[in-house]
Amino acid sequence: MCNAMDVVLGTRSAVGFTREQVVKAEDTMKPVVGFAKTAKIRAASPPLISQEKVYENRIEYYEYLVSDEKYPVVVIEDTDYPNTVGAFWGELNVAVHKGLKIRGTVTNGLLRDLGMLDSGYQVIAGGVGPSHGYVHITSLDVSVNIFGLEVNPGDLIHADQHGAMTVDKKYFEALPDALRLVTAREKPILSAARSSEFNIEKLKKAFEDSKKIT
């Protein structure tokens, strides 16, 4: 996907994607693709509001997720980062979000309950931890930063085991052709490299053949 965006932009880029390693809940799932529903959380210290208000905020969060956006992907910034201590994502929240038809999650926060999570829901997270700490929601529908990637509500996001990236809406129509072009240009190089007769001359020819593909 990042290679395809380079084609669309006509140049390479060092922005628009996450810049740190991630962990994932599911090993074999397809990428998570959809439109961002954003929130912020923290867990290092108790909330400065009543437990009743914490509960109300949680319900408001769930209502926000199902309010209007088709193909929602939850993107949550843990503002304790880089010293994250509490996992918002575990057996309960994975089950709830899957039941609400959310397409997946991207977060710089923690994941837990490995081996107990419902299959078919992907969480791309910053790490794994044992506790939820004092985790609570602090804001909804705001700009968030996930490992250097700025995400705004409604942004198209693509995430997998490598990390996440966003795509500006003005590039939507150009992206499918760019993906096909990237695949086509790589094909002669990969075919040559995997041949039993591969050598430096065949590599040079493969690169020349690749450059001719438009």
CATH number at residue 42: 3.50.30.40
40 SS3 class: strand
The secondary structure of residue 30, as a DSSP letter, is P
Structure-token pair, residue 50? 């009543």
Mean pLDDT value of segment 161-180: 94
CA 180, CA 171: separation in Å to the nearest integer?
15
The secondary structure of residue 17, as a DSSP letter, is B
Residue 69 clears pLDDT 80, i.e. is over it:
no
pLDDT at residue 70, rounded to an integer: 85
Separation in Å, CA 43 to CA 1, 3, 19, 37, 136: 33, 36, 23, 20, 6
Q: How confident is the model at residue 13 (pLDDT cuts 50, 70, 90)?
A: confident
Note the helical H segments in 79-142. 91-99
Strands 72-78 and 32-42: parallel
pTM: 0.91
Residues 135 and 204 placed together within one structural domain of the fold: no
Number of structural domains (the chain) is 2
Burial 134-172 (b: 16+ CB within 10 A, else e): ebbbbebeeebebbebebebebbbbbbebbbbbbeeeee
What's the N-to-C CA distance of the chain in angstroms? 18
Residues 94 and 28 placed together within one structural domain of the fold: yes
Mean pLDDT value of segment 2-25: 92
Residues 149 and 201 placed together within one structural domain of the fold: no
Structural domain harbouring 100: 10-168
Residue 182 clears pLDDT 80, i.e. is over it:
yes
Instruction: Calculate the average pLDDT of the chain.
Output: 96
pLDDT at residue 191, rounded to an integer: 98
Residues 207 and 155 placed together within one structural domain of the fold: no
pLDDT at residue 54, rounded to an integer: 96
pLDDT digits (tens, 9 = 90+) for 84-140: 999 999 999 999 999 999 999 999 999 999 999 999 999 999 999 999 999 999 999
Structure-token pair, residue 11? 């140049």
